[in-house]
Amino acid sequence: MRQVSRTEIRLADGRALWYYDRADADRSAPDPRELPARSSGSQGRFDPLLREWVTYAAHRQDRTFLPDRAACPLCPSMPGRAGEIPSGDYEVVVFENRFPSFSPGPGGPADGAGHAEVVCFTPDHDASFAALTRERVETVMEAWADRTAALSALPYVAQVFCFENRGAEIGVTLPHPHGQIYAYPFVTPRTERALASARAHRDRTGRDLYADVLAAERLGERVVAETAHWTAFVPAAARWPYEVHLYPHRSVPDIPALTDVERADFAALYLAVLGAFDALFDAPAPYIAAWHQAPTRTGRDLARLHLQVFTNRRAPGKLKYLAGSEAAMGAFVSDVLPEQAAHRLRAALGAVRPG
């Protein structure tokens, strides 16, 4: 299989864009637009009660919102229509967000410092991640790994988060298949809590909490599918109606640490899981797919890379909303037992395990 090449260009307002290609391609097309200076000016405030940072990005109020297909900024550019990607075709593209959640460049949490990037998985406006080829998924993973490594090397970045939001029901404002990468100036609250649990478990037992969770789940009824290098399971305390975690069998801190074989194995499994999500309701499932990676400088011996994917659809035509208990108190009440969810997802897979 051909290696992935990376080509960097600059957009009209100075933002960086990276093409990731397996095939030979001319990526010299310039950005013909006249753009104002990119918006920034985020700030962070610390909540002393919850001990969490909250970031404010008021400039994002003017970001692109549900544009007509003809005005999609993520489609390849063509004569008379220039978007964010100057080339007339592409494989995978990453670029700095025109309306970033964080102020690009150095600083601390109070400065709202960090990075926000967009990852385009395909030039096909009507496609989805589940429709990608295994090779294309591997190219996406190369982009995730490359940008994770680059952002992690910045001294003011504490954690890198690669994710995809899919579907209007989940809050997506651009339907073109894409994800995002956030580089936070702080370790996120969920990761802080997980690391505290992992540290307490190690102090008490001498063992790795993530390894113990994976070992227990692989013996149980909540496994959805597994391959030589990965297991997909519904966690025992799943918060969302249908939620699957994908763990590599080898403990690694982040995506760059995965081998080529592990990445290829993941591609097959993940495509199968996404296909099962869609098959559950005979319709495209809204979902969030979130890569949990170790912080860049702390807790790397405690964390373990894994992917969490969940949908807020609990039944055909019905969504799970964050109501009073979830939104105000952070205490989830779910409508679907994890064992039922795993059984239904296995059925949707056709009881055929990939790999």
Looking at the fold, whether 31 and 172 belong to one and the same domain comes out as yes
Looking at the fold, whether 255 and 182 belong to one and the same domain comes out as no
What lies within 8 Å, CB to CB, of 235 at 6+ separation is 213, 217, 222, 243, 245, 338
Catalytic residues, by residue number, are 178
Domain closes at, from 165, 186, 207:
186
Q: b/e map of 261-272 (b: 16 or more CB within 10 Å)?
A: ebbbbbbbbbbb
Domain closes at, from 163, 186, 209:
186
**How many domains, in total, are found in the chain?**
2
Q: Which residue has the tokens 């019905």?
A: 318
Range(s) of the domain holding residue 260 = 194-348
Q: Is 354 among the domain residues?
A: no
DSSP 8-class letter at 348: H
Looking at the fold, whether 20 and 142 belong to one and the same domain comes out as yes
- Per DSSP, the residues of 235-292 read -TT--SSEEEEEEESS--SSGGGS-HHHHHHHHHHHHHHHHHHHHHHTSPPPEEEEEE
Looking at the fold, whether 168 and 211 belong to one and the same domain comes out as no
Looking at the fold, whether 200 and 182 belong to one and the same domain comes out as no
Looking at the fold, whether 99 and 199 belong to one and the same domain comes out as no
Looking at the fold, whether 255 and 115 belong to one and the same domain comes out as no
- Residue 279 is part of a domain; what is its CATH number? 3.30.428.10
Reading the chain (355 residues) residue by residue, the pLDDT tens digits are 579 999 999 999 999 999 999 999 999 999 999 998 877 789 999 999 999 999 998 877 677 666 788 889 999 999 988 999 999 999 999 999 999 999 998 999 999 999 999 999 999 999 999 999 999 999 999 999 999 999 999 999 999 999 999 999 998 989 999 999 999 999 999 999 999 999 999 999 999 999 999 999 999 999 999 999 999 999 999 999 999 999 999 999 999 999 999 999 999 999 999 999 999 988 899 999 999 999 999 999 999 999 999 999 999 889 999 999 999 999 999 999 999 999 999 999 874 444 4
Number of Cβ atoms within 10 Å of the Cβ of 288: 20
Q: Is the pTM of this model over 0.85?
A: yes
What is the separation, in whole angstroms, between the first and last Cα of the chain?
A: 18
